[in-house]
Amino acid sequence: MRKNKAIGIDIDAVLADSDPVFIKELQQITGKEFIRTKETPFKYEDAFGIDEDTMNIFWDTFTRKNGWIDIPVLSGAVEAVKLLHEEYHIAIVSARPQVLETQTVKWLELNNIPFDEIFFTDFEDKAQKLSHLDELEYFLEDNPIFIMDLIKRGVHILLFDYPWNQNFTDPGVTRVFGWEDVYKLFFKSNRAR
Ligand SMILES: [Mg+2]
C-alpha cells in the first residue's frame, strides 16, 4: 500500500561513505597527500588538480572493477532507513549517472537498504525527478547545489554535515551530524514529525 508521506534520500555521503574511498584511490594514483577542508573544491578533479580526461578514466576504471559495490555504508543508516520505511515512501535520488544503476541497486540490496523508487540525475537538480511526489516531506542530502529547487518547493532538508557544505544555511535546512541525529529527530522527539 502506498504510504501517504514520502522521504527522499541521497546516496553518496548520506547512505554511502564514498568520499574516503575516492580520496584513498586518488591519493594512490596521484601520489598526492590530501586533507579535506572546507576550502577544498567539491569536485575531485579540482581538489586533486587533475584534468577531466584523467578523472573520467578514474571513474571508468572504478566502475569496471565494480568499485561501487564495496563502498561502506554510513554508520546507523540501514537501521534508520528500515524504521523510516515503516512510515514513509522512500525515494532514493542520486546525482550519479544512470549508467551506474545496476551497481547502485545491487549495493542497496546487498546492504539491505529498503526503497520504493530510485532515480539518477547525472548532476541535475533532484526536484525534477520528484515532481510526482506531492507527499514529499523530507530530503536527506549533503550537497545543497542538487536540492535548491526542493528547498524552494518547501521540502524540509536534513543536511549531512561535511566540509563542503559548511557555508550553507537556509531556514528550510536542518544540519545533522550523522544517522544518529536523523534517528533522534524522527524517533526520539516530535521535531521532525
Ligand atoms: Mg551526496
CA 180 to ligand 1 center in whole angstroms: 18
Say how many Å lie between the CA of residue 10 and the centre of ligand 1: 6
Return the pLDDT at 188: 87
Cβ contacts of 89 within 8 Å, gap of 6 or more = 2, 3, 5, 6, 7, 116, 117, 133, 135
CA of 86 to the centre of ligand 1 (A): 24
Taking the centre of ligand 1 as the mean of its atom positions, its distance from the CA of residue 19, in whole angstroms, is: 9
Whole-model pTM: value is 0.94
Number of Cβ atoms within 10 Å of the Cβ of 31: 7
| Residue 146: pLDDT over 90 | yes
CA distances from 12 to 18, 30, 94, 120, 153 (A): 6, 22, 7, 12, 23
Distance 11 CA to ligand 1 centre (A): 6
**Ligand 1 centroid, distance to 96 Cα (angstroms):** 9
Our measurement of the distance from residue 157's CA atom to the centroid of its chain's CA atoms, rounded to an integer in Å, reads 12
Average pLDDT value over all residues in the chain: 95
> Which domains can be identified in the chain, with CATH numbers?
6-17+73-187 (3.40.50.1000), 18-70 (no CATH)
- Ion ligand 1 neighbours (CB, 5 A) are 10, 12-13, 142
Please give the distance, rounded to the nearest whole angstrom, from the Cα atom of residue 142 to the centre of ligand 1.
5
- pLDDT tens digit string along 56-110? 999 999 999 999 999 999 999 999 999 999 999 999 999 999 999 999 999 999 9
pLDDT tens-digit readout, 34-52: 999 999 998 999 999 999 9
